[in-house]
């Protein structure tokens, strides 16, 4: 089968299209014929081996990729075969979900817990745009942010992969007012997905607006903690999703500072690490089939052009998601 392989850390130039053996499902695993792959910043962290100090925790080699050398995490496709102990799926099922690296290929194996039946009203490309970004948005709002109906929410980076889902899910969870922060060219997009207010960050600094929010979901990491705390209510919550920190610590830098500072202030400062849960993928499927949320796709690239797609994603200006089709 064809797959996107990387055998050293680095820029998208390290990504190569190669022929590799098709995997076989082991106990508790599902073999999926991949129809589409959604790319995430998570993927370029693996490609570049960053943050450097956390390579051992990421399950990659210290000097070069070892156990897993195929890029990609979010998938949609058709169940080809199942291993022993699988009860939720059978060959022929249309599924979507997320796994560790290994998705940018014609076939991949994944654990049962990382899959759910594909939303019936989405095509494969749309479904592949959902898993990691939507799980992160859902858990940022509901679990980490403890969003309650009637609260005011701000999403910094509202036109990105996580941000477009965060705006829609906040609305579905009953937020009274949602403010989205984005660039000039994305203002109408963010309004169209449900934001009540939009802030053009090229013209206005939302941290100096004087407005206060019960929950801020920050997907960008381009403001210091002090500035973000300034827009929170006295008991408000900041949910930080990646961004910033440099090569050594990456997003972990913000997590460390939040952990140290949170006990000293009245506001809650939390760093979000999404958990792969089949029940949450099922919950998202319900929202999608009810028309409450929809993925936003910027561009679709063929598997052979994954390196170009990663270069585009790394620029940080994608509207919604970037998708690959094998």
User: Domain holding 153: CATH number?
Assistant: 3.40.50.720
pLDDT at 249: 46
Counting the structural domains of the chain, the total is: 2
Question: Which pLDDT does position 250 carry in this prediction?
Answer: 46
CATH number assigned to the domain comprising residue 15: 3.90.180.10
The pLDDT assigned to 19 comes to 96
pLDDT at 101: 84
Neighbours of 259 (CB within 10 A): 12
What is the three-class DSSP state of 68? coil
Res 147: pLDDT? 98
Q: What is the pLDDT of residue 263?
A: 63
Do 239 and 144 fall within a single domain? yes
Return the pLDDT at 44: 78
Side-chain half-sphere CA neighbours of 273 within 13 A: 6
What's the pLDDT score for residue 257? 56
Q: What is the DSSP letter of 59?
A: T
Query: Looking at the domain assignment, is residue 194 inside a domain?
Result: yes
Q: Does residue 281 sit within a domain? A: no
Q: Which of the residues in the chain have pLDDT under 70?
A: 51-68, 243-265
**What integer pLDDT is reported at residue 173 of this predicted model?**
98
Do 183 and 302 have their domain in common? no
Pairing of strands 107-111, 16-19: unpaired
Tokens encoding 223: 């403001």
Does a structural domain hold residue 217? Answer: yes
The pLDDT assigned to 251 comes to 54
What is the span of the domain harbouring residue 10?
A: 2-130+295-325
CB 262 within 8 A of CB 163: no
What pLDDT is attached to residue 248? 44
How far is CA 178 from each of CA 2, 141, 183, 216, rounded to the nearest angstrom?
Answer: 43, 12, 16, 10
Q: Does 43 lie in the same domain as 15?
A: yes
């Amino acid at each position: 089968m064809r797959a996107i392989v990387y055998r050293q850390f680095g820029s998208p130039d390290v990504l190569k299209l190669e022929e590799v053996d098709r995997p076989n499902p082991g106990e508790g695993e599902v073999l999926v014929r991949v129809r589409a792959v959604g790319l995430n910043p998570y993927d370029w962290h693996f490609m570049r081996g960053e943050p450097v100090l956390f390579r051992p925790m990421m399950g990659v080699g210290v000097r070069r990729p070892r156990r897993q050398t195929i890029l990609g995490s979010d998938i949609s496709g058709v169940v080809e075969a199942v291993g022993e102990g699988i009860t939720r799926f059978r060959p022929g099922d249309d599924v979507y979900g997320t796994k560790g690296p290994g998705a940018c290929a014609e076939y991949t194996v994944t654990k049962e817990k990382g899959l759910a039946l594909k939303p019936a009203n989405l095509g494969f490309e749309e479904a592949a745009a959902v898993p990691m970004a939507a799980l992160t948005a859902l858990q940022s709002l509901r679990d980490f942010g403890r969003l309650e109906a009637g609260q005011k929410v701000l999403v910094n980076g509202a036109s990105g992969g996580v941000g477009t889902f965060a705006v829609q899910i906040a609305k579905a969870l009953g937020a009274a007012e949602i403010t989205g922060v984005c660039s000039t060219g994305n203002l109408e997009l963010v309004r169209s997905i449900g934001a009540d207010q939009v802030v053009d960050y090229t013209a206005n600094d939302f941290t100096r607006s004087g407005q206060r929010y019960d929950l801020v979901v920050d997907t960008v990491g381009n403001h210091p903690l002090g500035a973000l705390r300034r827009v929170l209510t006295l008991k408000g919550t900041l949910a930080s999703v990646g961004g910033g920190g440099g090569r050594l610590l990456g997003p972990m830098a913000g997590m460390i500072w939040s952990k140290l500072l949170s006990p000293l202030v009245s506001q809650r400062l939390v760093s979000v690490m999404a958990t792969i849960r089949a029940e949450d993928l099922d919950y998202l499927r319900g929202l999608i089939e009810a028309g409450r949320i929809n993925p936003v796709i910027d561009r679709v690239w063929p598997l052979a052009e994954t390196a170009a797609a990663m270069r585009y994603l790394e620029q940080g200006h994608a509207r919604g998601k970037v998708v690959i089709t094998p």
